[in-house]
Amino acid sequence: MKRRGEALERLRREIVGEKAAALGRAGERLEQALMEERELAAALLRARGTADAERIAREHAAARQRARRARQALIIQREALGLRHHAVVDQEFPEPRAP
């Protein structure tokens, strides 16, 4: 019986570890998406009035959409883990705004 309890505890720890790793990966994907969005936002500001502005605006809009999806995925992952309050997400990873 003792071995069975130890095996279940190891399994529980492994599951908790995997959940934490999945949450970490979701956060990393969001950080990457937000970084790309910020870079394109800056490029868009520099490109105003140039021939490249329209192309960069489309790229920026797509990057904003990817960041929104990544943010939503992080929130869903947090909720799946029982974390219902997302103030920390709002603080650390605010939703990207239009330039």
Distance CA 90, CA 8 (A): 36
Q: Are 19 and 35 in contact (CB under 8 A)?
A: no
According to the model, what pLDDT value does residue 43 have? Answer: 96
3 state SS of 83? coil
Tens digit of pLDDT for each residue in 21-39? Answer: 999 999 999 999 999 999 9
For the segment 61-92, what is each residue's pLDDT rounded down to a tens digit?
999 999 999 999 999 999 998 999 999 999 99
Confidence at residue 98, expressed as pLDDT on a 0 to 100 scale: 74
Q: Structure tokens of 9?
A: 């505890």
Query: Cβ(25)–Cβ(66) under 8 Å?
Result: no
pLDDT at residue 31, as a whole number: 96
